[in-house]
């Protein structure tokens, strides 16, 4: 409790010109000033220790050649950043994100389609909704194994193709193109459900009378989508786009679990993790992490500028 | 009229196709988990039915040799502390931010807002050093502290609910002589029950599924959580797909049960969590 009064003392007590009409007795006022900080003590400490301190440290490390263990480190200026942008093998991994970006376009379109049809009266609606959403809840490692089995030689995919009379001895995870496409498809399988449920929620919050009125005016399903649903889900759509872009840039789990980054499936985050924890290049890894962080923040900022929260509909 | 019927048929066809795409990979793994080693060696194909539908031998192997029991225990401990901490921290933060005006309030809000944009994976390079310097590396405390300390989404969820509680309740209690802590404990917190339920579910599922943090901070085999223990199946059970499958099903099953029981809350929770 002594800590309380100390905290309060740090807070400059408002002078006599304070706006309160009838100033409370002094100790009470100090107590009131300190109360919110007491509630915020633990949350702010954790926030600073585990989010802001790491970012600050990371900026500092990124200008050094520190290996993460030895007490010595040398200031190297912008060398790490120069290495990152000039060594082609370090920056190349960003192209892998292209597969996931393309996949997320597909994912958004599919999610939008299923959300639209399931917002109308469909039999077994809850069943379909549950089935589409469930993969999002499954443990990533389990998904990794399910799809390693799916893609392996003689696995689920080959068996299914065999049913249709297609015999392949193709190694689905064998070449960079095929492997990245397969992994991106797994990512669609996993994350489609979240997009779908977000869209569905947005569509269902549109008042039903709008559809009835449109139907009376002779609008078909496409018109209803174009003029009622599309404007209604714009905020959620822009949020989804942002999540997809930053998600595509920071893909980690699925490729790490399934291929460990082999056969050209290494993503930027896998590379950063390897640099930091396998090759002990903390400095270079920090620079990489800062670059990714800046890109993600920039994308978010652009989105906030393009689609402000209190949007004005152009329609 | 016929065009409508065709459209309707196509809609159902697409839904059934999607269902097959979602369920088939899972069904194949379920079938494989019930097969014996001999059946696997015979190369019966991924979709062939197992000879004995009640062959749980692989589950026993996965549980015993795969250390799944200690994994579930470790996960349970982490879940308990991480969720409890998140609920307390989130509700306290929301209460302080919404019910008080104080200096630097805007700054505090901005700190939480910006932190929500920082992707956690990127900062682990430096977070690792901090966790290590606290001596929490390779202990259950590392994930607990990180799950508690870096969850901004829960704060948002609590904030939405605190806003919806009328301030007249606080004022009435204050007139009766209650101080801020009593108001938080006796009035605000009990009214936050729906938010607590949402946070417990969302946090519970994301914590249960997280792989990166336990993988990075708890390399000891004794400290395996379900994600990392399952990941370790890759080594010893390398080609034994029947055991790996059993392990995967063991991990998926609790999620399925929770999902079936709490569907409505789960949809709401994740929608709220994502849209903030």
Q: What ipTM goes with this model? A: 0.91
Note whether B211 and A253 are within 8 A (CB): yes
Two tokens at A273? 């993790």
Q: For residue A222, what are the domain limits?
A: 88-306
> Which chain B residue shows the shortest CA-CA distance from A201?
B271
Structure-block tokens of residue A93:
């991994």
Range from A87-101, A239-253, A273-287, B78-92 that averages highest in pLDDT: B78-92
Instruction: Give the pLDDT confidence score for residue A206 in this predicted structure.
Output: 85
Length of chain B: 276
Chain B nearest-CA distance from A315, in A, is 23
Q: Which of A33, A155, A194 sits opposite B102 (nearest CB)?
A: A33
Query: Closest partner residue to B227 among A117, A141, A155, by Cβ?
Result: A141
- The pLDDT assigned to A24 comes to 52
Verify whether the Cβ–Cβ distance A50 to B130 is below 8 Å. Answer: yes
A64: which strand partners? A75
Cα–Cα distance between A193 and A303 in angstroms, integer? 23
- Give the nearest partner residue to B18 out of A114, A201, A293, using CB atoms: A114
Chain A residues close to B22, C-beta within 8 Å: 131-132, 134-135, 189
HSE-CB of A102 using CA atoms within 13 angstroms: 11
- Are the C-beta atoms of B197 and B211 separated by less than 8 Å? no
C-beta atoms of B18 and A132 within 8 A: yes
The third-level CATH classification (topology) of the domain covering B73-275 is: MetI-like fold (1.10.3720)
- Asked if A57 and B126 come within 8 Å (Cβ–Cβ), the reply is yes
Give residue limits of the domains in chain B: 73-275
> Residues 146..205 of B with a Cβ closer than 8 Å to A: which?
146, 148-150, 155, 180, 184, 205
The answer to whether position A71 is within a domain reads no
Q: Is residue A15 part of a domain?
A: no
Chain B CB contacts of A163 under 8 Å are 47
Number of domains in chain A: 1
pTM of the predicted structure, to 2 decimals: 0.86
Contact between A131 and B46 using a beta-carbon 8 Å cutoff: no
The tokens describing A47, both together, are 């926030």
Residue A207's φ and ψ, nearest 5 degrees, are: -60, 135
- Over residues A144-164, the pLDDT tens digits come to 999 999 998 878 888 888 888
d(CA A301, CA A231): 22
| Contact between B127 and A46 using a beta-carbon 8 Å cutoff | no
pLDDT (tens digit per residue) in B145-185:
999 887 888 888 898 899 999 999 999 998 998 888 899 99
In whole angstroms, give the CA distance from residue A166 to residue A172: 15
Eight-class DSSP state of A64: B
Select, from the ranges A236-250, B12-26, B103-117, the one with the highest average predicted confidence (pLDDT).
B12-26
- Inter-chain contact B149–A150, Cβ cutoff 8 Å? no
The size of the A-B interface in CB pairs under 8 A is 245
Which residue out of A13, A30, A51, A124 would a mutagenesis test of the B interface target, given it has the greatest number of B Cβ atoms within 10 Å? A51
Q: Look at residue A262 and tell me whether its pLDDT is greater than 70.
A: yes
Average pLDDT over all residues of chain B? 89
Helix (H, G, I), strand (E, B) or coil at A264: coil
């Amino acid at each position: 409790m002594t800590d309380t009064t100390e905290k309060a003392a740090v807070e400059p007590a408002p002078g006599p010109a304070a706006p309160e009409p009838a100033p409370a007795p002094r100790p009470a006022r100090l107590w009131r000033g300190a109360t919110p900080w007491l509630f915020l003590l633990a949350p702010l400490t954790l926030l600073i220790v585990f989010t802001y301190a790491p970012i600050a440290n990371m900026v500092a490390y990124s200008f050094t050649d520190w290996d993460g263990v030895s007490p010595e480190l040398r200031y190297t200026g912008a060398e790490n950043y120069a290495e990152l942008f000039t060594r082609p093998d370090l920056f190349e991994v960003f192209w892998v994100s292209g597969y996931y970006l393309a996949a997320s376009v597909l994912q958004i379109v599919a999610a939008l389609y299923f959300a639209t049809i399931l917002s109308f009266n469909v039999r077994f609606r809850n069943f379909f909704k549950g089935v589409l959403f469930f993969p999002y809840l499954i443990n990533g490692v389990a998904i990794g194994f399910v799809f390693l089995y799916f893609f392996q030689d003689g696995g689920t995919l080959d068996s299914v193709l065999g049913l249709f009379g297609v015999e392949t001895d193709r190694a689905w995870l064998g070449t960079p193109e095929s492997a990245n496409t397969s992994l991106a498809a797994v990512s669609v399988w996993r994350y489609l459900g979240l997009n779908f449920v977000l869209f569905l929620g947005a569509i269902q919050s549109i008042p039903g009378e709008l559809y009835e009125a449109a139907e009376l005016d002779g609008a078909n399903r496409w018109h209803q989508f174009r003029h009622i649903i599309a404007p209604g889900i714009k905020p959620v759509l822009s949020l989804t786009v942002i999540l997809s872009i930053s998600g595509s840039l920071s893909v980690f789990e699925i490729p790490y679990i399934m291929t460990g980054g082999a056969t050209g499936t290494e993503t930027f985050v896998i590379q950063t993790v390897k640099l930091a924890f396998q090759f002990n290049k903390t400095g270079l890894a920090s620079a990489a992490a800062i670059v990714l962080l800046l890109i993600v923040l920039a994308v978010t900022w652009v989105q906030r500028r393009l689609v402000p929260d209190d949007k004005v509909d152009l329609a | 009229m016929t065009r409508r019927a065709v459209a309707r048929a196509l809609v159902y066809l697409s839904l059934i196709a999607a269902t097959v795409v979602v369920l088939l990979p899972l069904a194949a793994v379920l079938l494989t988990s019930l097969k014996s080693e001999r059946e696997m060696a015979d190369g019966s194909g991924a979709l062939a039915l197992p000879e004995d539908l009640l062959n749980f031998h692989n589950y026993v192997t996965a549980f015993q040799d795969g250390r799944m029991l200690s994994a579930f225990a470790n996960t349970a401990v982490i879940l308990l502390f991480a969720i409890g901490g998140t609920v307390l921290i989130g509700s306290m933060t929301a209460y302080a931010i919404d019910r008080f005006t104080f200096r630097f309030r805007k700054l505090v809000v901005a700190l939480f807002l910006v932190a929500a944009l920082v992707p956690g994976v990127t900062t682990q390079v430096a977070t690792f050093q901090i966790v290590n310097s606290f001596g929490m590396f390779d202990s259950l405390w590392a994930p607990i502290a990180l799950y508690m300390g870096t969850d901004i989404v829960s704060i948002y969820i609590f904030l939405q609910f605190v806003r919806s509680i009328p301030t007249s309740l606080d004022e009435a209690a204050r007139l009766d002589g209650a101080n801020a802590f009593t108001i938080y404990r006796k009035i605000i917190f009990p009214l936050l029950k729906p938010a607590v339920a949402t946070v417990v579910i969302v946090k519970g599922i994301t914590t249960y599924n997280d792989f990166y943090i336990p993988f990075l901070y708890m390399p000891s085999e004794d400290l395996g959580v379900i994600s990392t223990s399952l990941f370790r199946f890759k080594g010893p059970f390398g080609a034994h797909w029947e055991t790996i499958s059993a392990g995967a099903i063991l991990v998926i099953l609790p999620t399925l049960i929770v999902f079936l029981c709490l569907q409505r809350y789960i949809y709401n929770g994740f929608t709220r969590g994502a849209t903030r």
